[in-house]
Structure 1
Amino acid sequence: MSAAAVPADTTAALVQTPVTRGWLLGFAGAWFGFWLLMMLPGQFMVVKLASLIDPSEKVGVSSFLIAEMSIVVVLAVPLIGWWCDRSNPRFGRRRTWALGGFVTATSAFALVGIQESWQAAAVLLGVVAIGQSSVLVSLAAMIADQVPIEQRGRASAAMGIPQVIALALGMVIVTELVPQVGPSWFVIAALAMLAPLPFLLGFSEPRIDISPRPVRRRLQWSSANRDFAWAGVSRVLVNAGNLVGTTYLLYFLVDVLRLDDADSALMVLILVYLVASALASWAGGALTDRLRSRRVFVVVAAGLQVAAALTLAFSPAWTSSLVAAVLLGLGYGLFLAVDQALLTDVLPDETTRARDLGIVNSVQHLPIAPLVGWLVLAVAGYTELYVIAAVIMALGGLAVTRIRSVR
């Protein structure tokens, strides 16, 4: 039974009674399944697949496949968000789109690893991206729909902590437990499909009145719109800078540090990153709710990640890589705990939540990281790559200071 069950004609503004701990745990499980599908391809599985399909062009193939998924998400998320806002199935509009997205994404994901051409992999990854888009907009909108403002930091942490857990556990699975490429894609798909079921099937969704609203004759560019735009810019830049630095980390370990077992070394870095990120996300979620402050946490989070990137740029060694993993984990964990709460707080219109969040999430998935990585590594090296990553993340931290309606 839902922690926030209400009559069918109650509006979104009235259904935000406190959610239970069980709801938050189930919500975290749903995000865990999503992040398995979202994080592992870009961080490891696609680059590993590309190195088998075409070893001589592994950077180009992996960059194309990651960019292709990003482009599909950019196009699909706003449309799915618009449809999600306007649908009202008996099962629940957010739950319906989330469950359908998981089925779509995992069905295609399971088959990617057995492909022998990049073209076939690209088709399947496009289907995966469509399913990912449906899950993303529906789960993200649940925070705005059901979670009161005083719990949004914890809900944001429930969204963020599973990201690093999924990445770490997924890395253990695909590098140690199931290292074969084909079976690893199937195992991750199965786990991603099972993880959200307790939440999606066990908690009902409050019905929300979606009766037609009066059509606005003129777009009002209010302070709420400006704050929402700056929050979106901050999210896009911080995530892009983070991905610029992490997407090619496996190649950094191989080509720069020349480690004999780069796969295992990457897993160690991910585990260190996990511990730091989980601690920062848990503490950040509680603190941002208690202090009712968001912006300063985002600035600190960006600064920690800038320090991590500069450490890799100017001290390329194994020990400094461990230090960078701690800094990156602290910074990104803190960012994950606060960013979604901040973005939800500045949503300009309660009737278009999934659409508005979809727009931000679609822009967030513009293929900035693979394009920057491909261009920089084509003409320079990893020092320049990590310096550029630091600059992008620093700009993301500065962007959030432009928000005025939230502390």
Structure 2
Amino acid sequence: MTTEIPVPSETETAPAVSTPSLEPSRVSRGWLLGFGTAWFGFWLLMMLPGQFMVMKLASVIDPAAKIGVGSIVIAEMASVIVVSVPIIGWLCDRSSPRFGRRRTWALGGFVAATVPFAFVGVQTSWQLAALLLAVVAIGQSAVLVSLSAMIADQVPIGQRGRASAAMGVPQVIALAVGMIVVTELVRDVGWSWAVIAAIALVSPLPFLLAYPEPAIAQRARPERRRSSGWLHGYRDFGWATLSRVLVNAGNLVGTTYLLYFLSDVLELENPESALTVLILVYLVASGLASWAGGLLTDRTRSRRTFVAVSAALQVLAALTLAFVPTSSASIVAGVLLGIGYGLFLAVDQALLTDVLPDEATRARDLGIVNSAQHLPIAALIGWLVLSVAGFTELYIVAAVIMALGGIVVYRIRSVR
């Protein structure tokens, strides 16, 4: 009946961090669909700039320095998110507006992100574009922490896999749909940013306006505790955070440099087209696996095993690229990587919400996780490895990182 997770210790009992509260009621399919649509809007704003739109804009503003300009702007956005997410999470936990603290921050975040986003594409100075995108990143941070916290606040444990899938599957759909919009339907750079902003702003409105947020339960303000039980709760949360950071970093190491792998190692005649095929294969596999993983983890209540399996599949994908560098093998690797990462998207978020140590600081704690996830680990590792070795070594390193992520998840003791 309570949200506290018992600590499996024979000698200690964890003291309650906050007063008990009833587990949330089951959410409807309409709620899950609306929640997924809201995430679709967020992922449009989050995925497309880093994947395509910033680099395209940089090539228009300053063709001679497009790589440097694009890299600076993307790094700036990541840095703003790393700093702002924990702060906004802390503020979100402590706010109590009538509209609902999560809904208010989510709606405000969407407005703060989409309005400047709409004007980025018409800038002729990369400095002005970078300034607008810094504001966009702050809005993205507000959306990220508030929507993430809704899973822990409003979804019972038995549905958190489905809710996590509703968070993960739209990431795949948004990237695919968004790329079609900005490369095929709206090729003008200025208009492409405005159209994506409009779609992203409209997408969450049905959910945020139609589903009232449950009233905030009256809870005692969390007290500072020094007992080992309290520390144990954060220990599990720490291991879950480390697992997510490692698996994500390894995945990014494996995917960031695929274009160069296809052109320099496989020496394909048209590496861009080959990369498009790989991305589509990866997205389809990821979307299906995320949906199925959400259902399976809810039915079995098993989190750690699914995270470990997802990491193992991605390890196999990286090793396939390392030791079987052929075009057909890269397709196999794309399928394995997509299934592994899709499964990870659904299950890992459910696991994290299960091990949150304090219901009064959910947005802040999830903000810390999301902040750590945006650290530029993959770029640093890729630069270091490729400076002294080649792609075989790069993908071996990626496999090792993801394997560690799958192993450390078993350091968590409070969930299966």
- Is TM-score (shorter-chain normalized) higher than 0.5? yes
- Please tell me whether residue 388 in structure 1 is matched to residue 397 in structure 2: yes
The 1:377–1:68 alpha-carbon spacing in structure 2 relative to 1, beyond 3 Å, is farther
Whole-angstrom distance in 1 between the partners of 2:414 and 2:306: 15
Displacement of 1:281? 1.1
**What TM-score does the superposition give when structure 2 sets the normalisation length?**
0.88
Q: Secondary structure at the match of 2:21?
A: helix
Q: Secondary structure at the match of 1:313?
A: helix
How do 1:334-345 and structure 2 match up within 5 A? 334-345=343-354
| Counterpart selection for 1:42 from 40, 45, 50 | 50
Match of 2:196 in 1: 188
**CA offsets per residue over residues 333-359 of structure 1, 9 Å max, x none?**
100110010000001001111111111
Q: In structure 1, give the amino acid aligned to 2:145.
A: V
Displacement of 1:302? 0.8
Structure 1 contact 231–342 (Cα < 8 Å) conserved: yes
The 1:49–1:325 alpha-carbon spacing in structure 2 relative to 1, beyond 3 Å, is farther
How do 1:366-377 and structure 2 match up within 5 A? 366-377=375-386
**Range with bigger deviation, 215-224 or 296-305:** 215-224
Match of 1:161 in 2: 169
The 1:219–1:369 alpha-carbon spacing in structure 2 relative to 1, beyond 3 Å, is farther
The 1:326–1:294 alpha-carbon spacing in structure 2 relative to 1, beyond 3 Å, is same
- Please tell me whether residue 279 in structure 1 is matched to residue 279 in structure 2: no
Match of 1:5 in 2: none
Structure 1 contact 171–267 (Cα < 8 Å) conserved: no
Match of 2:160 in 1: 152
How do 1:1-400 and structure 2 match up within 5 A? 13-14=21-22, 16-54=24-62, 58-209=66-217, 213=221, 215-216=223-224, 218=226, 221-257=230-266, 259=268, 262-400=271-409
- Long gaps (5+) in structure 1: 1-10
Count of aligned residue pairs for this structure pair = 397
Whole-angstrom distance in 2 between the partners of 1:257 and 1:192: 37
**What TM-score does the superposition give when structure 1 sets the normalisation length?**
0.90
Displacement of 1:57? 5.1
Q: In structure 1, give the amino acid aligned to 2:322.
A: A
Whole-angstrom distance in 1 between the partners of 2:392 and 2:54: 23
Structure 2 contact 21–217 (Cα < 8 Å) conserved: no
Q: In structure 1, give the amino acid aligned to 2:76.
A: E
Whole-angstrom distance in 1 between the partners of 2:21 and 2:74: 38
Displacement of 1:382? 3.5
Displacement of 1:157? 0.7
Q: Whose Rg is larger?
A: 2
**Range with bigger deviation, 194-203 or 245-254:** 245-254
Let me know the Cα RMSD of the aligned residues. Answer: 2.3
Structure 2 contact 80–134 (Cα < 8 Å) conserved: yes
Displacement of 1:14? 2.2
**Range with bigger deviation, 360-369 or 120-129:** 120-129
**CA offsets per residue over residues 97-152 of structure 1, 9 Å max, x none?**
00111111112222333334443332222111111110000000000000000111
The 1:176–1:37 alpha-carbon spacing in structure 2 relative to 1, beyond 3 Å, is same
The 1:180–1:379 alpha-carbon spacing in structure 2 relative to 1, beyond 3 Å, is farther
Displacement of 1:255? 4.8
The 1:40–1:251 alpha-carbon spacing in structure 2 relative to 1, beyond 3 Å, is farther
Displacement of 1:169? 1.5
- Long gaps (5+) in structure 2: 1-18
Whole-angstrom distance in 2 between the partners of 1:255 and 1:210: 60
Q: Secondary structure at the match of 1:301?
A: helix
- Please tell me whether residue 406 in structure 1 is matched to residue 412 in structure 2: no
State, as a whole percentage, how many aligned pairs show the same letter. Answer: 75
